[in-house]
Structure 1
Amino acid sequence: MKTILAILQKAGGWRPNLYLKIENPPYMELVIEAVDESGPCGLPAISVCHYGEQNGDAMRDPEMCFELGVAGGAHLNPFYWRNDYAGIEQWSRFIREGNYCYHPQLHAQHESFAKTWDNNLRQQGFAAVFTDKCIVG
């Protein structure tokens, strides 16, 4: 997720109140925000989401949540994927009853999707159109 990391760097890095809203017509707006809870490994987490609208409701298309790691250089590790239009919600890494749970095949799918999505975001120019005006709050 090099594009998302570049946007985060331009925004001054991760912080608990991080909320970025990037409008880039004709594409759906992109929202990047800090998640209230840490990720499954206890690291800071962010949500990256395209929002559409259906019947007046905000619809995620898609949303992915990532842990922000810094060991070995800044990187994003996915653990959640959701698409409201398709009615799908997936956790590839999570904590259940105090135990770390990991679905290797689903996590590999999340990593693959994230790479494709990141390439699309780069090609669509989301990092290029990011300015301080995209920082909400």
Structure 2
Amino acid sequence: MKKLNKQATEVFAQLITGLKDGYCKIENAFFMPLTIEKIGQAAITGLGNTDLYSLCHYYIQNGDLMQDPEMCFMVIDNRTETQTDLSLIKIIPYMYVLASIGVFEESVTLENNEVKNFNLKQQADHAKFANRWLINIKQQGFLDIDHLKCQFNFQINTDRRSWDEVPVRSKWFENRIQAVKLAYRVAKRYTAEVRLTEGTHPFTTSGSYFSHTDL
């Protein structure tokens, strides 16, 4: 299977170095947001311990998240604190999604920690595209942004409804402290209870609760 070239590997390594709690979003005023998410782990026969990552540009259309594109990667990272050479990290693309035209390509199928099926030509095409895409990401300035921001979700409950019925509002912060301060301010302003979660799944993620009565 084809891995990323040296230049693309360097860009990818910088992106995951800034990852906080498995998910980050980089806002760039001139381009679509870029998200980086650790989506799993596997001990794949022949490859060893492997982390699985998603890299995605997206926009919202009629309430739906549209990947433009999204790619998934297997990352075998043998670097240590004393050995940081990029030759010790291997990054293999295995999925490509372009929602606007309904493209979903899985060039490598993983099942029970094994590579079950793979399409060598398609996987090579994925690697070729990823090499170009990551260089574009660098040229567009995503690596120059000082902070990778994490998504925090706020639900403002003013009438003791079930939390599943309370709308979610999302904002992006550099750290959790900023989000907590905002949750307290909102609870006080609206005389409400505020539920705070982090990441892309607010209804299934464990949350923290802030009440105006605590202030």
The TM-score, its normalising length taken from structure 2, stands at 0.55
2:131 is the counterpart of 1:123: no
For 2:22 and 2:133, the matched residues in 1 are separated by 21
CA positional deviation for 1:75 = 3.0
For 2:27 and 2:115, the matched residues in 1 are separated by 39
Identical pairs, percent: 28
Q: Do the aligned partners of 1:7 and 1:130 also contact (CA within 8 Å) in 2?
A: no
Which residue is 1:38 aligned to?
Answer: 42
Which residue is 1:100 aligned to?
Answer: 116
Q: Residue type matched to 1:121 in 2?
A: I
For 1:4 and 1:130, the matched residues in 2 are separated by 16
2:71 is the counterpart of 1:64: yes
The number of equivalent residue pairs is 132
2:82 is the counterpart of 1:75: no
For 2:58 and 2:43, the matched residues in 1 are separated by 22
Which residue is 1:53 aligned to?
Answer: 60
For 1:35 and 1:77, the matched residues in 2 are separated by 15
- Per mean C-alpha deviation after superposition, the further-off stretch among 82-91 and 2-11 is 2-11
Q: Tell me how large the CA RMSD over aligned residues is.
A: 2.3
Q: Which runs of 5+ in 1 are unaligned?
A: none
Q: Indicate the structure (1 or 2) with the bigger Cα radius of gyration.
A: 2
Q: Which runs of 5+ in 2 are unaligned?
A: 1-7, 79-86, 152-197, 199-215
Provide runs of 4+ in structure 1 moved above 4 Å.
39-42, 96-99
Q: Do the aligned partners of 2:15 and 2:36 also contact (CA within 8 Å) in 1?
A: no
SS of 2:136 mapped into structure 1: helix
Could you report, residue by residue, the CA deviation over 1:21-69 in whole angstroms, capped at 9, with x for unpaired residues?
A: 0000110000000113538656110000001111121110000000111
Which residue is 1:3 aligned to?
Answer: 11
SS of 2:110 mapped into structure 1: strand
For 1:39 and 1:113, the matched residues in 2 are separated by 26
For 1:112 and 1:99, the matched residues in 2 are separated by 21
Answer 1 or 2: higher relative contact order, Cα 8 Å, separation at least 6: 1
The TM-score, its normalising length taken from structure 1, stands at 0.84
| Structure-2 change in CA distance of 1:79 and 1:99 (3 Å) | closer
